[in-house]
């Protein structure tokens, strides 16, 4: 029997003893967050730590006026104009002006689009 631990969004978790309509796989589970399917057990993880290539970046390094900080840049180095532009977009999303729309970041490799 194979056992996997995967993070599962509680809102998207299938109810116990239900059938997945897309794959026709029978799921059985209980209230403990454990689901069994085809001899494979999946347990819900309550905490997930993300360690990745950009885990050192904590923000855009901008002050409240969207100007680059002189001291700590929160992990972002250079690209002051790009950081300010992303700060404007971030502020508009928080104010609800452009929520639900996609934004495409374009640029040369290594310019921090993924960060």
- Tell how far CA 10 is from the center of its chain: 15
Look at the pTM and tell me if it is higher than 0.75: no
Per-residue pLDDT tens for 36-53?
666 667 666 556 555 665
Identify the domain containing residue 16 by its residue range.
Answer: 2-44
Q: What is the pLDDT of residue 55?
A: 59
Residues 6+ apart with CB under 8 A from 51: none
For residue 113, is it within any domain?
A: no
For residue 104, is it within any domain?
A: no
Domain tally, the chain:
2
The pair of structure tokens assigned to 114 is: 């993924």
* pLDDT < 70 stretches in the chain: 1-40, 42-58, 71-76, 115
Q: Give percent of the chain above pLDDT 70.
A: 43
Cβ-contact 7, 46 below 8 angstroms: no
Tell whether 55 and 88 lie within a shared domain. yes
Tell whether 31 and 63 lie within a shared domain. no
Question: How far apart, in whole angstroms, are the C-alpha atoms of residue 38 and residue 51?
Answer: 31
């Amino acid at each position: 029997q194979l056992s996997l631990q995967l993070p599962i969004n509680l809102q998207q978790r299938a109810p116990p003893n239900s059938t997945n309509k897309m794959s026709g796989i029978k799921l059985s589970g209980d209230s403990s967050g454990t689901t069994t399917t085809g001899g494979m057990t999946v347990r819900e993880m309550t905490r997930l730590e993300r360690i990745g290539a950009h885990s050192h970046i904590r923000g855009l390094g901008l002050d409240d006026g969207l100007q680059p900080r002189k001291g700590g840049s929160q992990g972002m180095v250079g690209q002051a104009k790009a950081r300010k532009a992303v700060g404007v977009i971030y502020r508009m999303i928080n104010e609800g002006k452009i929520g639900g729309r996609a934004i495409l970041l374009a640029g040369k490799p290594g310019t921090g689009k993924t960060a």
